[in-house]
Structure 1
């Protein structure tokens, strides 16, 4: 049936929708595993398997890749070491994972003894790695730390002065890809680097200035009132220098603002009342946590698996705290409403609109492609309408309204399906939505409803 005249009306039938209570496994967020390598060995350090045989769980999108430079803490990196780093990166690309990369000199808690005695050695290692860090910037989401300290965590190091931190941070910024975040171990390092107590502001977020690329990681989340030394006992208002660590309350508020635009993640450790299910959900949401280690601390993780979520929503009430946390790490987009106007506007076009809410703990920090798609059941006719929006600004619990004007002049059939699709060109992956109304089709688009053309 061909419509040669003007379409005057549509009959719109939206699909019923509710949120589904399960994890989505989208890019750049979720639980992660750690993979360890020495820069002078072609095998993984823990399992002992060759680099090309390393395996990763399909459900985990992020991998923390630790590369130990200890064998070269007094020399430059030889070509063979650089080739091994390249092999490691290539393997995780083959596995279709996004990498959080940590270069370090210590796995035994002996930071000062293990790291180079001359900062120039570290600086040179960064310079030598620069071509690889920039070549693989599409696949390196975050660089954790500045190569220094025990376990690469920026403590127990000879290089923690403001002068040394600033020098290392600036150099790593210059040596890494323009879209790669660099995560600092404590919020006070961020303030010390940029000489401000004001978190990153929207006006400069995602630009190429230095502070827009520095994020946080915390491998002591909820371990104690100070997260094992991550925070201090000075109130923000009483702080006399940028390097001071604030009280837990003030540091959590600082992270809540800063991590609107840069990522936050790490490890939960030391089973205690502070990481019981209720407080844990509150803290993870406040910190805007995107990623957590899936194997550590087992006592904390097992406590979450044995505890109800405590969330006062029918959907999640009977789920465990672990299931709730896994499903909400990072971003979690759900379509709340979808509509299609039944009559055209003055230009003869119809308006498609949806309301999307991010139910996750954090934003996505990546600009995805968003489009409405109209197709028939057999995919013989497909029409796409791009949406001008910035998914990096889809903040948790803040509804986003998306619209597109639909021209119907090309329609040749009587029945169509209205879909929405969100796609990440960097990870080459469609983004999963948290709705029950349909599964994504083979193009990664979700059915919002059906409409019939009335001429």
Structure 2
């Protein structure tokens, strides 16, 4: 059908927009808190409260849930222990939070002494947990580590050989949900596991192959030149084995490429020049950091809270570095421009176009639904148009153009509102946009502007 001559005139009035200087609290990113449990206890290990009474600050989206299996380091998990794990998962699912889950055997820095002496015990624990990991896939965003080492951080363990890492990684991959990432403690573990010096490429990203689901975490971010042993002293070009740790510059570049498609996060520790505001912002951007611990290291976090952001853009100039970092962890979508063609194309359709940019430190790693919506003020006439785009590829600082052709035959009123919505089907959440011009309506759509039509 052709629509030319249906619309004789159109007036488009875009709403003014500026970026707002505040955190958006969208899914899968931001500051997180830690919650610790023993697998054989229905009481949270730090606060001493029952699992069903655990509370999470409403603005927090991510929770690091540590589950200690120490009391089962020589035997299989009991039915009671598995029920406790279910209760833990159910509690955070009920709170509608995304979990970063870390199973471990040690909270005292005694990894070798605490973990099982036979790797088959760990493998069996993974198998026993598989039904729960798959049942709660929607809420388990990341599994950190491979159950081994001090604090579950993959060091001070008897299972760090290439053969052991490969066995544990494959087992956890098969025992976890298809959309759950598995985070390794250091980049060299990733290279060792997949026997390559090349990070993940787009052709393999977001597929069902094993390496597409393996990401990174770092609990020594900016602690020293090596991030307390996360990196090494070998240049990439001089590396002779996959297991060698590269110098900081090369490891940061590796992470920058790998974490286009998988997440990265952890803790900042050891206050010093390396985590002063300037180097911190540069490092967080380079590593594509999505999430950080909200309570540790307090000296680093307090330094950021007492320092200006150093950013020249107007909305952030007077904000603290902490406020800026909190708002830019992960993804942050900001509308730059919205337009509606004043003249129909040859078929009579109207073209709506939006330019949007991700101002966050990282991509979102999730394919959201994006749509344009045209409605009247009373919501009695609503027309939706899906936008063909992949939000996983909205890379930081890259301008993305979105377009849709609107057939005008349904317009039977003179005044309409053009809106846009971004929606996460996994968590059933509206994605917040970093602009001041509009708040989402009850359908989760943002107003872009008003237009009138004449026939």
TM over 0.5: yes
Distance between the aligned counterparts of 1:238 and 1:270, measured in 2? 29
- Which residue pairs with 2:36 in the alignment? 36
Q: How large is the Cα RMSD of the aligned pairs?
A: 0.9
Structure-2 separation of matches of 1:414 and 1:37: 60
Q: Deviations over 1:148-204 (max 9, x none)?
A: 000000000000000000110011001001110000000000000000010000111
Partner of 1:157: 157
Secondary structure in 2 aligned to 1:364?
coil
Q: Which residue of 1 aligns with 2:375?
A: 375
Identify the residue that residue 365 of structure 1 maps to in structure 2. Answer: 365
How far apart, CA to CA, are the structure 1 residues paired with 2:417 and 2:71?
60
In the TM superposition, what whole-angstrom CA distance separates every residue of 1:10-54 from its partner, at most 9, and x where no partner exists? 110001111111100000000000000000000111011110110
Secondary structure at 1:117's aligned position in 2? coil
The equivalent residue for 1:95 is 95
1:327-356 alpha-carbon deviations (Å, 9 max, x no partner): 000000000000000111121110011000
Q: Which residue of 2 aligns with 1:275?
A: 275
Corresponding residue of 1:54: 54
Summarize the alignment of residues 61-140 of structure 1 with structure 2, pairs less than 5 Å apart: 61-140=61-140
Give the structure 1 partner of residue 286 of structure 2: 286
State the partner residue of 2:395: 395
Cα drift, residue 234 of structure 1: 0.2
SS class of match (2:100): strand
| Alpha-carbon contact 1:362-1:395 (below 8 Å) kept | yes
Distance in 1 separating the partners of 2:123 and 2:141: 21
Runs of 4+ in 1 over 2 A off after TM superposition: none
Using the alignment, how far apart are the partners of 2:399 and 2:9 within structure 1? Answer: 29
Q: Does 1:327 align with 2:322?
A: no
Listed as ranges, the matches of 1:169-180 within 5 Å are 169-180=169-180
1:22 aligns with 2:22: yes
Can you list the C-alpha shifts for 1:348-380, whole angstroms capped at 9, x where unaligned? 110011000000000000000000000111111
Contact 1:337/1:355 (8 A) holds in 2: yes
Preserved CA contact (<8 Å) 1:9 1:344: no
- 1:89-141 per-position Cα deviation (integer Å, ceiling 9, x unaligned): 11001111000000000001000000000000000000000111111111100
Q: Which residue of 2 aligns with 1:266?
A: 266
The alpha-carbon deviation at position 7 of structure 1 amounts to 1.7
- Deviations 1:272-328, CA, capped at 9 Å, x for gaps: 010001100000000000000000000000000000111122221111000000000
**Structure 2 Cα separation of the partners of residues 203 and 454 of structure 1:** 47
Q: Residue 302 of structure 1 aligns to a residue in which SS?
A: helix
User: Which residue in 1 is equivalent to 2:296?
Assistant: 296
- 1:390 and 1:379 map into 2 onto residues whose CA distance is 28
In structure 1, the partner of 2:248 is 248
Unaligned runs of 5+ in 2: none
- Aligned partners of 1:233, 1:429: CA distance in 2, in Å? 44
How far apart, CA to CA, are the structure 2 residues paired with 1:10 and 1:209? 50
Partner of 1:337: 337
- In structure 1, C-alpha distance between the alignment counterparts of 2:115 and 2:346, rounded to whole Å: 70
Q: Is the 8 A contact 1:32 1:63 kept in 2?
A: yes
Could you list the runs of 5+ residues in structure 1 that have no partner in the other structure?
none
Deviation at 1:8, TM superposition (A): 2.2
Conserved in 2, the CA contact under 8 Å of 1:337 and 1:356? yes
- Residue 216 of structure 1, CA deviation: 0.1
Using the alignment, how far apart are the partners of 2:377 and 2:178 within structure 1? Answer: 42
Measure how far apart 1:9 and its partner are. Answer: 2.3
Deviations 1:416-450 (A, max 9, x none): 00000000000110000001111111111100000
Q: For the Cα contact (< 8 Å) 1:340–1:352, is it kept in 2? A: yes
Q: What SS does structure 2 have at the residue aligned with 1:31?
A: strand
Distance 1:131 1:383 in 2: 41
Structure 2 SS opposite 1:409: helix
> Secondary structure, in 3 states, of the residue corresponding to 1:183?
strand
User: Quick one: distance in 1 between partners of 2:6 and 2:250?
Assistant: 61
Aligned-partner Cα distance in 1 for 2:87–2:412: 52
TM-score normalised by length of structure 2: 0.99
What whole-Å deviation, never above 9, does each CA across 1:40-74 have from its counterpart, x for those lacking one? 00011101111011000000100000000001000
Q: For residues 3-14 of structure 1, what are the structure 2 equivalents within 5 Å?
A: 6-14=6-14
